[in-house]
């Protein structure tokens, strides 16, 4: 159980009513991570939805030949590990604290159970999760385009 005020501040739970916030607060807990600690590992079952409260967490993916590519730095206030909300509920990347960090965590299955009986609120939450995924997708596209210097088929042709 965490302070309801804290839950209310989370972007994921904006617009939820008092009762729902109280119920959510029951399910949430706060976890601390030391520098270098792995929050979760790629391909493992995705259990929790996280919102970073303090510190910095880097999302990384295993590449070929055992190399890790850092793909995103989570900043305080941002939610991550949406895989816990979406089948097949496996983490698509690993998360490591690069500074001493603190996160609000909530178990995905418990959230699903809570909202099963209240589809309207569940829909609201899933819309937020979809927003989170779509934002990450847009950022990833932009990062990719940056890496390739915005080379589209047209402008790479004109460059000869």
* Contact pattern for another protein over residues 72 through 111, marking x by CB under 8 A: xx-xxx--------------------x-------------
Report the alpha-carbon distance of residue 56 to residue 112 in Å, rounded.
27
Report the alpha-carbon distance of residue 160 to residue 154 in Å, rounded.
10
- Interaction between residue 64 and another protein (CB under 8 A): no
**Closer to another protein at the Cβ: 67 or 117?**
67
Using CB under 8 A, which residues numbered 10 to 39 contact another protein?
Answer: none
**Closer to another protein at the Cβ: 74 or 105?**
74
**Closer to another protein at the Cβ: 117 or 146?**
146
Report the alpha-carbon distance of residue 86 to residue 96 in Å, rounded.
21
CA nearest to 75, candidates 50, 51, 59, 56 = 56
């Amino acid at each position: 159980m965490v302070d309801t005020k804290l839950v209310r501040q989370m972007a994921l739970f904006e617009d939820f009513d008092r009762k729902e916030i109280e119920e959510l607060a029951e399910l949430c807990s706060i976890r601390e991570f030391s520098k270098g600690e792995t929050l979760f590992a790629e391909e493992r079952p995705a259990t929790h939805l996280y919102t970073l409260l303090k510190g910095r967490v880097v999302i990384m993916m295993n590449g070929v030949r055992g190399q890790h590519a850092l793909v995103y730095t989570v900043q305080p206030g941002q939610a991550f590990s949406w895989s816990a909300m979406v089948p097949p509920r496996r983490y698509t990347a690993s998360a490591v604290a690069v500074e001493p960090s603190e996160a609000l965590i909530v178990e995905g299955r418990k959230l699903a159970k809570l909202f099963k009986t209240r589809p309207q609120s569940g829909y609201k939450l899933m819309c937020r999760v979809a927003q989170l995924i779509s934002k990450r997708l847009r950022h990833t596209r932009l990062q990719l385009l940056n890496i390739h210097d915005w080379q589209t088929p047209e402008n790479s042709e004109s460059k000869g």
